[in-house]
């Protein structure tokens, strides 16, 4: 098992003819992902890496039965792409695009409220169920199939963590970058709920960062509802307030979003917080060894 994506996922790449879209289509196929279709308006009938390209997502669904989307379209058109995917009934929508206007995401979030689609991202590395499928831009080879779930607001930081986990022999069930923007499709809690029901997942690494209150909310949820071991790390302990630290969502403002508040909340929730990134793998090994 794993959550949301696995060997049965039939992936459509929205924006497949763009530079990034083409590049990562190749890498996903190399990893073993079934990339069944691509979409670029006006390029219908072409092929990219032997994948058929359609003008609309509707066509891709009708002709190729795709059920997971991976979006690489540029920021001005990304909200349209997400809504197109949800309208076409895709179960899982992964939006890699960074730089979508926040008010576009307000509309997207409103649109998705009564839909069955799960949106991962935007501004995220995607989702991987190691050994099964990879929908996103993370380096495949660092992953190893196993029992750890990883949920993260970050990209390369996640790779660092996964690499350490693999290094200490802790494989992963599913790793998810939920995205670094203020408004994202799914939160820590959404994924924790799914991981709770996933028998393959034995423990969770939760990688947060400054900004917002998502980690505090996750801590409250874990305390009340979550019964598997959780190891957490918060990036940005030394970040100054009022400055956006790369991610649109990573900003301490109005007295909210400080790393220490998040760490306190997590520890109060009985969660092991790793303070030094260098030791994360080791910490995870200790926690999982105990359980």
Partner 1 sequence: MKLHEYQAKDIFGKSGIPIPNGQLVTAVDQATKATQIISGAPWVVKAQVHAGGRGKGGGVRVVHYPYEVATATEDLLGKPLVTKQTGPEGVIVNQVLIEEGVEIDREFYLSMVIDRSSAMPAMIFSQAGGMEIEEVASKTPELILKEYIDPAVGWMPHQARNLIYGIKPPLSLGPVKTLMSIMANLYRVFTTLDCSLVEINPLAITKEGKVIALDAKMSVDPNALFRQKELLHFDDPREKDPLELMAEKYSLNYIRLDGNVGAMVNGAGLAMATMDVIKMAGAEPANFLDVGGGASESMITKGVEIILKDRRVKAILVNIFGGILRCDVLARGVVAAAKKGMIRLPLIVRLKGTNVEEGREILRNSDLQFFVAKDLAEAAELVAKQVS
Task: Return the active site residues.
Answer: 247
124 vs 148 by CB, closer to partner 1:
124
Which token pair is 13? 């790449």
What element of type H or E holds 177? strand 172-177
Shortest separation between residue 131's beta carbon and partner 1, angstroms: 19
Is the CB of 202 or the CB of 239 nearer to partner 1? Answer: 239
Q: What are the CA-CA distances from residue 123 to residues 18, 75, 137, 182 (Å)?
A: 17, 10, 11, 10
**CB of 63: closest distance to partner 1 in angstroms?**
13
Q: Is 15 helix (H, G, I), strand (E, B) or coil?
A: coil
The two three-digit tokens of residue 81, written as one number: 């792409």
Cα gap 40→42, rounded to integer Å: 6
Q: Alpha-carbon distance 248 to 54, whole Å?
A: 32
- What are the residues whose beta carbons fall under 8 Å from the beta carbon of 277, sequence distance 6 or more? 157, 160, 161, 233, 235
Question: What is the distance between the alpha carbons of residues 59 and 44, in angstroms, rounded to a whole number?
Answer: 9
Of 104 and 200, CB closest to partner 1: 104
- Contact criterion met (CB below 8 Å) for 15 and 30: no
Nearer to partner 1, 1 or 65 (CB): 65
Residue 39 C-beta: closest distance to partner 1, Å: 9
Give min distance, CB of 102 to partner 1, in A: 5
């Amino acid at each position: 098992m794993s959550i949301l994506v696995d060997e049965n996922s039939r992936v459509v790449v929205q924006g497949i003819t763009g530079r990034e879209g083409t590049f990562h289509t190749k890498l996903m196929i190399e990893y073993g992902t079934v990339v069944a279709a691509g979409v670029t308006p006006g390029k219908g009938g072409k092929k990219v890496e032997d994948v058929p390209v359609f003008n609309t997502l509707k066509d891709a669904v009708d002709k190729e039965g795709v059920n997971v989307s991976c979006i690489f379209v540029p920021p001005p058109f990304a909200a349209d792409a997400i809504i197109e995917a949800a309208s076409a009934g895709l179960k899982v929508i992964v939006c890699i695009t960074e730089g979508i206007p926040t008010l576009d995401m307000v509309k997207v979030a409103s649109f998705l409220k009564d839909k069955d689609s799960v949106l991962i991202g935007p501004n995220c590395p995607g989702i991987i169920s190691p050994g099964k499928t990879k929908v996103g831009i993370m380096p495949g080879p660092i992953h190893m199939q196993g029992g750890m779930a990883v949920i993260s607001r970050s990209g390369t930081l996640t790779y660092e963590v996964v690499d350490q986990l693999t290094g200490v022999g802790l494989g992963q069930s599913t790793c998810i970058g939920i995205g670094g923007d203020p408004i994202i499709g799914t939160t820590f809690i959404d994924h924790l709920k799914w991981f709770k029901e996933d028998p393959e997942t034995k423990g969770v690494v939760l990688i947060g960062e400054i900004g917002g209150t998502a980690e505090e909310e996750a801590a409250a949820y874990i305390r009340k509802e979550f019964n598997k071991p959780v190891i957490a790390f918060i990036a940005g302990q030394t970040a100054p307030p009022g400055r956006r630290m790369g991610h649109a969502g990573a900003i301490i403002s109005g007295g909210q979003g400080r790393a220490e508040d998040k760490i306190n909340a997590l520890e109060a929730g009985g969660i092991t917080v790793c303070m030094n990134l260098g030791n994360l793998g080791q910490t995870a090994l200790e926690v999982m060894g105990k359980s």
